[in-house]
A and B are shown apart, each in its own frame.
Chain A
């Protein structure tokens, strides 16, 4: 009985610790969500935590001193004397704070602590991000024209067009390669595998300039095919390594029995290995999709910023404006860009928990 109680207690502690860790982890995202709903001026002036009720100095009465009070001498306010510097920083007097409201007109504001929240919430940021921000231009003859910029809609479809093949192609090629490395015997197998894993190490910047030179001579710059190839190339080492780890753990007897029954390698691959490795395919697929979706560097270099091919990460960076003047739009843009990977993640959830072997090997 005592043992059972101890188990329950430790479970509760573990859950609480996990809950605290999750909360700390989610706090910045929560702040970003709240910020994305605040008007632009609020975002620029105060942090998102001001939305919660907090104590601030609220202005109450104003004390008008006579206009000829000398600031260099101690100033007399309702019987007590303060110096000019004290009034500049705010001085406490019977629970309220005295601070200059208008120094030239010699007005002092009496402030009290009060609970206040800044609850102005608006969806303006989201509208600006999705459909484009309106801005007014003054023409040469003095009249104003209102024009609309572009939003994220086109960039969203571009990114989707890039991300889906750039996920499917590497995962497919890597599964073929992983099966070959795991279960086929051919000369140079080990060296080749070490070589491929060694490619994991290469920072992308190393390969940028040579690949770019080749792309320009081939004419692949700024085209979808070029960036599919680039993402495939940069993603293959990791995906191969991951799939190899998984496929090498499948039981050998399964394939040997299929081999004896006369199945070709391709049959074994498509009918046995692929269905069995669905959890691994789903995990690495999500990983690769997320990487391609969020990617800025490879798209910047290989596909550029033509509006018909520009990706979302680049478009979001452009939303900020040429002088960083609209950075409040980043908050809502971040959330819109987050939706698709989240959707994919939840859609593929069921493939994660599918039973590994599914009862295929008995005994």
Chain B
């Protein structure tokens, strides 16, 4: 091999090596970005579980900027009150390869639309999401949502849809004075999130709404409610006339003026 040929081989190797190193660096960079995004998404979910919604959204937005084609961080970063932002999720969902991701995105978009009094906009027939959103829409329109009876073989509901539906239906049942429905929805919310800030109130509704719980125990549950305690206890006294005497003995103002 002549020195010219050796130089040619060397230069070719150097060029190929540089290309490979650049490719490796690119793969490594995208891998690290993905890893950071996964880590941030996981932290955002943990924050959501602790009701730090604003912090979770901020962190999820950071993760979404790292992996713009991924549905999970984009959904976590989403402000559902902003319908334009909700519509943008559709484009990300369309790019998503996972069917579960697409279904989650569609459920989130449908929930945001129904919460704003609009049509769901997706065919969610055969899924629990569709059934729950229809009940929510009926409740919001002042119609009877009927009972939330599960249907065999339907796709399970998404967590946010389930929570939103139970919350809306609980509010409606409370306004209508339907104690058994209030207990059922409060029980579902309590089992879903037993450590949520509103859990003590759900516990109170489930307990005080049961004729089997003694008044003294119901009062203990009232004492455990910390969020807007006075208003909550007054609302419970209004819903449950049979508990009024016990509540009046401890919080006389809470029952003042109730019929």
A binds B: no
